[in-house]
Amino acid sequence: MSFSDIFKSSFLENVAAVSVLDMVLALALAFGIGLFILFIYKKTCSGVMYSSSFGVTLLALTMITTLVILAVTSNVVLSLGMVGALSIVRFRTAVKEPLDLAFLFWSIAAGIVLAAGLLPLAVIGSVVIGLILLVFVNRKPHTNPYIVVVQCDGQQSEQNAMQLLRAATERCVVKSKTVQKGRIEMNMEVRLKSDDTAFINDLDGLEGVESAVLVSYNGEYMG
């Protein structure tokens, strides 16, 4: 192979497969949609602590997916090879929040649709998804379940505590009860009638009640 044959290689034929204008426009739009996804993630983050690295990952993932799909759509042979190459990739990072999985899939889907040239679908679809997430994720209904932990010294104080809880809450269900000599501990799931939690103060003030604790509960963790 001579020096001139190197420049006749089919490798260099793919240089102009995607125009510079298409690349710049696609990456710029991917960056904008990625920023929008990052903004929605910040506004709807329901975890204990906001993860800035995960937010940046959403932005980068949108642009990376756009880059890959641009390459795939420009060459059919490359698309087949890309499928085989990506099939061996394994991700071991655990997703702690179910909603985080939706954001990851949203970033990937936005990058794919954008690189495919469906610009209105990518932009309008992302706006609609973002608005829906803002409306539903940020809702804080007072019907969320709570756990009440009550420690009392006898059966009479237990009955008084149960009577107060049933009157002050919309629903009260005993989850567990531990009885020791001279001490009773109960865990109850309650649904509040409103955001007012003053009934816990009244519960703690009952005669025979040693302590009363109200804990928010979402089915996965307490805090």
Percent of the chain with pLDDT over 70: 73
Q: Against a cut of 0.85, is the pTM above it?
A: no
Q: What share of the chain is helix, strand, coil (3-state, %, to 5)?
A: 55, 20, 25
pLDDT exceeds cutoff 60 at 8: no
**pLDDT tens by residue, 39-77:** 998 888 765 566 778 888 888 888 888 888 887 776 655
- Are the C-beta atoms of 129 and 122 separated by less than 8 Å? no
Work out the pLDDT band at 36, boundaries 50, 70, 90.
very high
- Return the CATH architecture of domain 145-216: 2-Layer Sandwich (3.30)
**pLDDT tens by residue, 213-223:** 888 765 544 43
- Are the C-beta atoms of 99 and 54 separated by less than 8 Å? no
Work out the pLDDT band at 35, boundaries 50, 70, 90.
very high
> How far is Cα 193 from Cα 53, in angstroms, rounded to an integer?
38
Strand partners, 186: 150, 177
Provide the residue ranges of all domains of the chain, joining segments of one domain with +.
3-137, 145-216
**pLDDT tens by residue, 90-110:** 666 666 777 888 888 889 899
Q: For residues 14-19, give the mean pLDDT.
A: 61
Residue 201 identity (one-letter amino acid) = N
